[in-house]
Amino acid sequence: MIHAIIIEDEHIAQQNLLDSLKNTGYEVAIDAVLTSVKESIEYFKSGNKTDIIFSDVQLGDGLSFDIFREVTINTPVIFITGFDRFMLYAFENNGIDYLLKPVGKEELSQALWKYKMLEDHFIRHDQSLKNLLEFTNPKKKTRLIVKKGIENISIKLEDIAMFYTENKMVYLVDKHQKKYIVDKTLNELEAELDNAIFFRANRQYIINLNFVKCYKPYEKVKLQVDLDIPERDHCIIISQLTAPYFRKWITEA
């Protein structure tokens, strides 16, 4: 018997997955169906464990990658999503397979077969699946390549104060207050960056811990963050929902 958890916020997709799992030929018991990043973090922080996770990538309150950055989870994940652009990040976040919606029993059967083969291999060699995940999840990047005119410039991530989006463009600001265009979305950057150093403050900003000068209450339930850089044109506001995660992030650094 394989014990599994489903992370999916669309009811139709949940039901399709449940129906398909019944026809894979494997006995799969669903321990829980989770529908948001917040709910999933709370669930796993309570010590709940399972054999495998089936997870969508885009949830109503963020990307499922946020879950694995917030909580240490050594469970392999089969990502099921409608977009192929997250594939690289999936394999950096416990992913052992990546399926596109709508997923059928054949694809699920193949993914579960892969899981069983990996499980058998590591059991035979007296190792846990944690060894597999450590092998398949490479280290986070230390540099980012950006363009300035015809030049490709390498910038150390430790020198980047923040990323932000404006007029559908993404920019970074470095410690010298230089601004560069980044050919990635904030969601893509968020998946690549080390969450111990970078924090997704809101839809517009990702900030570097080492450049946080201070934070203070804003409209009673929100927070305003000031960065230790000369540029003053940015007002970085953290919502009431995100504020507890920010406090935890900055106090445990």
Q: What pLDDT is stored for residue 232 in this prediction?
A: 65
Rg (CA), the chain: 20
10 Å Cβ neighbour count for 19?
A: 11
Q: What is the pLDDT of residues 198-207, one digit of tens each?
A: 999 998 999 9
Q: What pLDDT is stored for residue 96 in this prediction?
A: 80
Which domains can be identified in the chain, with CATH numbers? 2-136 (3.40.50.2300), 143-251 (2.40.50.1020)
User: What one-letter code names the amino acid at 124?
Assistant: R
DSSP string for residues in 123-159: HHTT--HHHHHHHHSPPPPSEEEEEETTEEEEEEGGG
Least confident window among 4-8, 41-45, 137-141, 153-157: 137-141
Q: What pLDDT is stored for residue 226 in this prediction?
A: 92
Q: Is the pLDDT of residue 132 over 70?
A: no
The CA-to-CA distance between both ends of the chain, in Å, stands at: 40
Q: Is the pLDDT of residue 120 over 60?
A: yes
Q: What pLDDT is stored for residue 95 in this prediction?
A: 80
Is the CB of residue 26 less than 8 Å from the CB of residue 109? yes
Q: Taken in order 33, 61, 217, 179, is the CA torsion positive or negative? A: positive
Question: What is the arithmetic mean of pLDDT over 132-157?
Answer: 75
Using a cut of 0.85, tell me whether the model's pTM lies above it: no
User: What is the overall mean pLDDT for the chain?
Assistant: 84
Give which of 10, 141, 17, 15 is closest to 78, Cα–Cα: 17
Between CA 59 and CA 249 the distance in angstroms is 21
pLDDT grade, residue 34 (50/70/90)? Answer: very high
- Phi first, then psi: what are they for 50, rounded to 5°? -155, 175
User: Taking the CA of residue 194 as centre, how many other CA atoms within 13 Å lie in the half-sphere pointing to its CB?
Assistant: 17
